[in-house]
């Protein structure tokens, strides 16, 4: 009998162990964290930046689909849908929200004061009320800010270098952008310094872009500067096609414009800024707090030229300009 009881106890213990093993394995493999990705753009328009963001995550040990899940919310040019999209991510209880651009960041900040937010913005985070300090942000928000305060002035200088005889230049801005008024002031000051007449046009929809470019053609502009704005980035192909149709030399803020056939670009490397944002997201997932992560000021600028487009416009790019370009697309 003693032997039989021992045998039953052994079988019972063995059965309990077989139940416990899967539970122990499950405890060692917690569910993947889910982060929200909030953007004004579309997946196609954001392709290179999304790859850079994922690269930053990979650098710190996170790979989407392996140990991380991302919930995407793309609103295209419908900025008014950002608050709803941000609220949806909060309702789904994501562990962190990455917000691409100022409007998305403001929407995310308004939606939650507890879920960590990592942003990528061309605005001043302190002036926008996103953080109390660049070095020690308070609350649940931090991220990467790329400098655009001197961007317009430099773009005017480069355009003048390319087209020294151009006396009338168009400047396109988006009135929905919080940086529009400062961009306009910078454009007016830069034009005055160079002795150039600048004609301002505003557009915040696809039809308005068509109208703005037609108006600039009627006023005989000799070149165009497209203001830094997420909406314009999403309408990249339209802007390039219009500049080509009207044979207007144009300078943009992002290299993607030049890669798609635009003449030239000068601005912060957004892909590098997105990579840095990805690293920050990973650091927070590993346990660091937003309050301990100072806002990064991305200072990597790049000048990109497209020789094929220059030839089509019958423009000769000076050796001096070619020598300072970060990349020349042939």
What is the residue extent of each domain of the chain? Answer: 34-147+270-300, 151-268+302-329
Task: Please tell me the predicted confidence (pLDDT) of residue 43.
Answer: 83
pLDDT digit string, tens, across residues 126-175: 988 999 999 999 899 999 998 665 789 999 999 999 999 999 999 999 99
Res. 210: pLDDT tops 60: yes
Q: What pLDDT does residue 35 have?
A: 98
Average per-residue pLDDT in the chain? 88
CB-based contact 82:89 (threshold 8 Å): no
CATH of the domain spanning 151-268+302-329: 3.40.50.2300
Instruction: Give the C-alpha separation, 285 to 276, whole Å.
Output: 14
Task: Work out the pLDDT band at 14, boundaries 50, 70, 90.
Answer: very low
Lowest mean pLDDT among 18-32, 97-111, 287-301: 18-32
**Per-residue model confidence (pLDDT) at position 13:** 42
Count CB atoms within 10 A of the CB of residue 254: 25
Task: Give yes or no for residue 9 having a pLDDT over 60.
Answer: no
Give the model's pLDDT for residue 41: 78
Q: Is the pLDDT of residue 257 over 50?
A: yes
CB 2 within 8 A of CB 37: no
Residue 96 has pLDDT above 60, yes or no: yes
- Please check the confidence at residue 72 and state whether its pLDDT lies above 60: yes
Q: What is the pLDDT of residue 149?
A: 57
pLDDT at 76: 79
pLDDT value of position 1: 42
For residue 7, is pLDDT > 60?
Answer: no
pLDDT of residue 148: 65
Segment 202-220 shows an average pLDDT of 96
> Residues of the chain with pLDDT > 90: what percent?
72
Q: Count of CB atoms within 10 A of residue 212's CB?
A: 21
More confident residue, 42 or 225: 225
Q: How far is CA 131 from CA 114, 135, 144, 194, 315, in A?
A: 14, 10, 12, 36, 45
> Does the fold of domain 151-268+302-329 match that of domain 34-147+270-300?
yes
Q: Which fold has domain 34-147+270-300?
A: Rossmann fold (3.40.50)
Q: What is the pLDDT of residue 18?
A: 35
> Radius of gyration over alpha carbons of the chain, in Å?
25
What pLDDT digit, counting tens, does each position of 278-306 carry? 999 999 999 999 999 999 988 888 999 99
């Amino acid at each position: 009998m003693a032997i039989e009881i021992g045998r039953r106890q052994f079988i019972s213990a063995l059965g309990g162990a077989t139940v416990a093993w899967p539970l122990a394995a499950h405890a060692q493999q917690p569910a993947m964290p889910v982060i929200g990705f909030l953007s004004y753009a579309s997946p196609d328009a954001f392709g290179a930046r999304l790859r850079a963001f994922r690269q930053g995550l990979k650098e710190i040990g996170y790979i989407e689909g392996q140990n991380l899940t991302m919930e995407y919310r793309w609103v295209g040019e419908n900025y008014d849908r950002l608050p709803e999209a941000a609220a949806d991510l909060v309702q789904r209880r994501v562990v962190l929200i990455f917000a691409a651009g100022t409007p998305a960041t403001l929407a995310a900040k308004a939606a939650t004061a507890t879920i960590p937010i990592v942003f990528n913005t061309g605005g001043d985070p302190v002036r926008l009320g996103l953080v109390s300090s660049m070095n020690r942000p308070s609350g649940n928000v931090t991220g990467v800010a790329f400098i655009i305060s001197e961007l317009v002035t430099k773009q005017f200088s480069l355009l003048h270098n390319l087209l020294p005889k151009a006396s009338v230049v168009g400047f396109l801005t988006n009135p929905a952008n919080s940086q529009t008024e400062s961009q306009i002031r910078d454009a007016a000051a830069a034009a005055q310094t160079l002795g150039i007449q600048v004609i301002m046009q505003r557009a915040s929809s696809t039809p308005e872009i068509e109208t703005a470019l037609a108006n600039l053609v009627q006023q005989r502009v000799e070149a165009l500067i497209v203001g830094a704005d997420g909406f314009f980035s999403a309408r990249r192909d339209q802007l390039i096609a219009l500049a080509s149709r009207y044979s207007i030399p144009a300078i943009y803020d992002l290299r993607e414009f030049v890669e798609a056939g635009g003449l030239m670009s000068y601005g912060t490397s957004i892909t590098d800024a997105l990579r840095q944002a990805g690293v920050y997201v990973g650091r927070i997932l590993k346990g660091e707090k937003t309050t301990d992560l100072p806002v990064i000021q991305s200072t990597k600028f790049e000048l990109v030229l497209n020789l094929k487009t220059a030839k089509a416009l019958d423009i000769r790019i000076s050796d001096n300009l070619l020598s300072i370009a970060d990349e020349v697309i042939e």
